[in-house]
Amino acid sequence: MKRLTIAAILAAALSSTALAEDKVTIEVGYPYSALFDVTFEKIMPMFNEQYPNIEVKFRATYDDYEDGTNTVLREAVAGTLPDVTMQGLNRQAILVDKGIARSLEPFIAKEADFAKDGYHQAMLDLGTFDGAVYGLPFAVSLPVGYYNMDLMAKIGITEASQLPKTWDEVADNCKKFHEAGIENPLFWGWSITGNWFLQALMWSQGEPILNADGSVNFDGEAGLTAFKTMHKLFRECHMKNLSGTEAGLPFAAGEIAMYYWSTSSVGAIERTKGDFPLVTHEFPGIGEAPKGLPAGGNAAMLVSTSDDPARLQAAWTFLKFITSGVGASVVAETTGYMPPNKAANDLLADFYKNNPSKETAVRQADLLKDWIAYPGDNGLAITQVIYDGIEGIVTGENDDMEELQQELVEEVSDLLPKK
């Protein structure tokens, strides 16, 4: 009997050793800790239960999408890339062009009915380059308006139907707030990564920020209108200059009435806001409803340098799981991003009924346009040039919008790849 017991113990030990040897470890990087930590806290127990032999190690989170891209570019040179990285939708191209991102086509080809597994073709297109899929959308966002309805009531707005539909209406509301003694009624998300809100103003007029040939397209009337719209809002609303990190704090504290930002932050604001009724509503337009809006968010990309088939398969398994119907549902529930996977729609039907603030972006889904990346090696530098120009409007340094437009057109044109 004793021998049998020892034999059983040895067998169990050998079995455990075999399982440990079969375990595959992958490394993953993602941005915006404040947004996505809670998402992965919910996703990972489900993933670990289904795939106990895959260990996922998360690297330090990227501050934003620019930081994420810069980090991966440095890691590519140093030979320290993770296996999977989440990159801004507008930052995928540079990783494809430099051969850092790996095509997902070999993995997709082995999946039965991959297209029917829930992936919207339009969403797959966001990560498709030269006919090959390199990124699966993990989280997709659109700009929306956030409103403190206690403060809105001070100027007579008590119903969602009364919320502003144009930026002129927003500016008029600011005058009413000032008369009511509220000096800082607005924050408008000019500082969001990738000049996203400038692109929103351009797409609202039906115009991309760059032409199809890669040249500047904000040099005409649409561009000037975009700059003048920002100037009007910042001046007439007495808007303060806040960083992206700071931007949501005064709104959550109940100090700002109208906050224009990505739908991605709905979950975070709901978790931290004061005791006031929050309503989100469609993004206002320039004189009319927007004709389009840039798709924000990020995609999961395979950047592993490993040649180990087991590790690559594990990375693909993780990447596919987090962008599946289950993963997409968790993203929507914890953040406010739209699910890029239509398999999540059935899972979220009741959720949106009970969480209307997170449904606003879904109502705008038909407006989705490309979040355009600036091509070439100077893409990140162009983002900074435009950022600095818009910040000058906020601070009062830039007051002549025609002059600013001309300066930015010249600087950006010099940085774009030469034909």
The pLDDT tens digits for 264-315 are 899 889 999 999 999 999 999 999 999 999 988 899 999 999 999 999 999 9
* Residue 42 and residue 158 in one domain: no
Residue 355: inside a domain, yes or no?
A: yes
Question: Is the model's pLDDT at 410 over the cut of 70?
Answer: yes
- 21: pLDDT confidence band, cut at 50, 70 and 90? low
Question: Is the model's pLDDT at 17 over the cut of 60?
Answer: no
**pLDDT tens column, 380-405:** 999 999 999 999 999 999 999 999 99
Average pLDDT over all residues of the chain: 91
Strands 143-148 and 186-188: unpaired
- 342: pLDDT confidence band, cut at 50, 70 and 90? confident
**Interacting residues of 236 by C-beta distance below 8 A, sequence separation 6+:** 171, 174, 175
* Residue 321 and residue 217 in one domain: no
* Residue 130 and residue 99 in one domain: yes
SS3 410: helix
More confident residue, 342 or 5: 342
For 129, phi then psi, to 5°, come to -135, 125
Question: Given CA atoms 323, 281, 236, 179 in this order, what sign does their dihedral have?
Answer: negative
**pLDDT tens column, 240-255:** 998 767 888 999 999 9
- 117: pLDDT confidence band, cut at 50, 70 and 90? low
Residue 211: inside a domain, yes or no?
A: yes
Residue 97 has which token pair? 């062009």
* Residue 175 and residue 191 in one domain: yes
* Residue 274 and residue 323 in one domain: no
Question: Is the model's pLDDT at 10 over the cut of 60?
Answer: no
Element at 54 (helix H, strand E):
strand 54-58
**pLDDT tens column, 203-228:** 999 999 999 999 999 999 999 999 99
48 half-sphere exposure, CB direction, 13 A CA radius? 10
- 15: pLDDT confidence band, cut at 50, 70 and 90? very low
* b/e code 206-241 from CB counts within 10 Å (16+ = b): ebbbbeeeeebbbbeebbbbbbbbbbbbbebbebbe
Find the CATH number of the domain harbouring 129. 3.40.190.10
Residue 12: inside a domain, yes or no?
A: no
**pLDDT tens column, 167-207:** 999 999 999 999 999 999 999 999 998 899 999 999 999 99
Question: What pLDDT is recorded for position 82?
Answer: 98
Confirm if 186 and 258 have CB atoms less than 8 A apart. yes
* Residue 60 and residue 119 in one domain: yes
Give Cα 125 distance to the centre of its chain: 16
Residue with tokens 């975070």: 268
Question: What pLDDT is recorded for position 132?
Answer: 95
Candidates 97, 84, 96, 91; CA nearest to 134 is: 96
- Mean pLDDT value across residues 408-416: 97
* Residue 227 and residue 317 in one domain: no
Residue 204: inside a domain, yes or no?
A: yes
Sheet holding 143-148, edge to edge: 186-188, 258-262, 143-148, 278-282
SS3 156: coil
Question: What pLDDT is recorded for position 215?
Answer: 96
- 3: pLDDT confidence band, cut at 50, 70 and 90? very low
Residue 202: inside a domain, yes or no?
A: yes
Ranges of beta strands (E only) in 100-214 are: 128-129, 132-133, 135-141, 143-148, 186-188
Question: Is the model's pLDDT at 347 over the cut of 80?
Answer: no
Length of the chain: 419
**Interacting residues of 419 by C-beta distance below 8 A, sequence separation 6+:** 213
- Rounded to 10°, the helix 221-236/196-204 angle is 120
Task: Give the integer Cα–Cα distance in Å for 398 and 400.
Answer: 6
Residue 159 has which token pair? 């119903």
* Residue 244 and residue 173 in one domain: yes
* Residue 32 and residue 104 in one domain: yes
- Mean pLDDT value across residues 355-359: 91
Question: Given CA atoms 244, 245, 248, 250 in this order, what sign does their dihedral have?
Answer: negative
* Residue 317 and residue 333 in one domain: yes
Query: Residue 46's domain spans which residues?
Result: 23-140+296-369
Task: Determine the residue type at 11.
Answer: A
Residue 9: inside a domain, yes or no?
A: no
Question: What pLDDT is recorded for position 16?
Answer: 42
* Residue 61 and residue 170 in one domain: no
Residue with tokens 């809105």: 152
Residue 378: inside a domain, yes or no?
A: yes
Q: In the chain, how many domains are there?
A: 2
Give the C-alpha distances (Å, rounded to integers) separating 224 from 50, 128, 220, 294, 334: 53, 32, 6, 19, 38
**pLDDT tens column, 47-86:** 999 999 999 999 999 999 999 999 999 999 999 999 999 9
- R_g over Cα of the chain: 24
Strands 135-141 and 132-133: unpaired
Burial class for 315, CB neighbours closer than 10 Å (0-12, 13-18, 19+):
buried
Confirm if 31 and 86 have CB atoms less than 8 A apart. yes
Question: What pLDDT is recorded for position 18?
Answer: 41
Helices (H), 110-195: 121-126, 149-152, 167-179
Question: What pLDDT is recorded for position 116?
Answer: 60
Task: Quote the percentage of the chain above a pLDDT of 90.
Answer: 72
Question: What pLDDT is recorded for position 122?
Answer: 65
* Residue 197 and residue 313 in one domain: no
Helices (H), 357-399: 360-363, 379-395
Question: What pLDDT is recorded for position 125?
Answer: 82
pTM of the complete model: 0.84
Residue 14: inside a domain, yes or no?
A: no
